[in-house]
Amino acid sequence: MRPAPSTSRLVAVSEEDALGPDEELLGVVVHSGLVLGRSDDVVAAVRRITAFPRGLALDTVVLARDVHAQAAGRREHTATAQRRAAETAQQQAEAEAQHDSETEAQRDGLAAADRHHALKQAMIEGHYLPSFDQGDRLRLGVATPAGQTLWLDAYGSTSSAAEDRYRLEATYWLMPLPADGLLSLICSWPEVGLPETQTDLILPDLAVRAAETFRIWDLRAPGPDG
């Protein structure tokens, strides 16, 4: 087994960086066609790994069949219902907080109301933060030098389900770029029968290839002759 990847130096992270790559950038595919783990009726794979100057986008697919597909479909349905209920509760709490803030402004002044509203909003957001332990998604992470796992967030996903078939396509974002191109991917989805596995790979010249990324707007449209 290759050593766990070391992380490059810390950089300032904007909110956009944390959510995924710049949508106006065309990244460079540095790896494709990698099976992460499988059992008799579940398989998880990386379709492609795309490099950007600030990180890696990992496009994954999970296929399940028979009872494992049914389990995945039930998990997704339950988690979706829970998220919708949480969103509704959060909206109601925010509306109540806004009303309280307006009342406080009339009584104690705008500055005090702003402090009250900021505190209440922080409490609401902390209470209704999305939960990632609902078992309705593939867990994908990277091994750290300390031997721990840094779990990644999916910033885009689609799924389809039939009676005995289930498919999940999800894209994960890892930043910053792994130092020296060493990457140890850990995946699991025990709720649908996929045990935890670790896959080690090397992405040669990763920083150089990531620097080849360019903006879509910089591309010239083909002429009449192509």
138-192 confidence digits (pLDDT tens): 899 999 888 899 999 898 888 887 778 888 899 999 999 998 899 999 999 888 8
Give the pLDDT confidence score for residue 192 in this predicted structure.
Answer: 81
Give the pLDDT confidence score for residue 73 in this predicted structure.
Answer: 60
Q: In whole angstroms, what is the distance from residue 11 CA to residue 82 CA?
A: 35
How far, CA to CA in Å, does 19 sit from each of 9, 23, 101, 143, 152? 19, 11, 30, 20, 11
Please report the sign of the dihedral spanned by the C-alpha atoms of residue 52, residue 54, residue 55, residue 57: negative
33: region left, alpha or beta (phi > 0 left; psi from -120 to 50 alpha): left
Q: Which CATH number is 23-67+137-218's, of 3.40.50, 1.10.20, 3.30.9, 2.60.40?
A: 2.60.40
Average pLDDT, the chain: 76
Answer yes or no: is pLDDT of 196 > 60: yes
Q: In whole angstroms, what is the distance from residue 79 CA to residue 101 CA?
A: 32
Whole-model pTM over 0.85: no
How far separated are the first and last CA of the chain, in Å rounded? 48
The mean per-residue pLDDT over the stretch 9-20 comes to 51
Pairing of strands 149-151, 139-143: antiparallel
Of the candidate ranges 120-124, 148-152, 218-222, the one whose mean pLDDT is the lowest: 120-124
Question: Which span out of 90-99, 104-113, 204-213 was modeled with the highest average pLDDT?
Answer: 204-213
Show the tokens assigned to 114: 């702003």
- In the sheet where 194-202 sits, what is the strand order? 149-151, 139-143, 182-189, 194-202
Query: Pick the residue with more confidence: 173 or 112?
Result: 173
Q: In whole angstroms, what is the distance from residue 214 CA to residue 41 CA?
A: 40
Q: Give SS3 for 158.
A: strand
- What residue ranges do the domains of the chain occupy? 23-67+137-218, 71-127
State percent of the chain over pLDDT 90: 35
Answer yes or no: is pLDDT of 129 > 50: no
The predicted-structure confidence for 20-68, as pLDDT tens digits, reads as follows 898 899 999 999 999 999 988 889 999 999 999 999 999 999 988 875 5
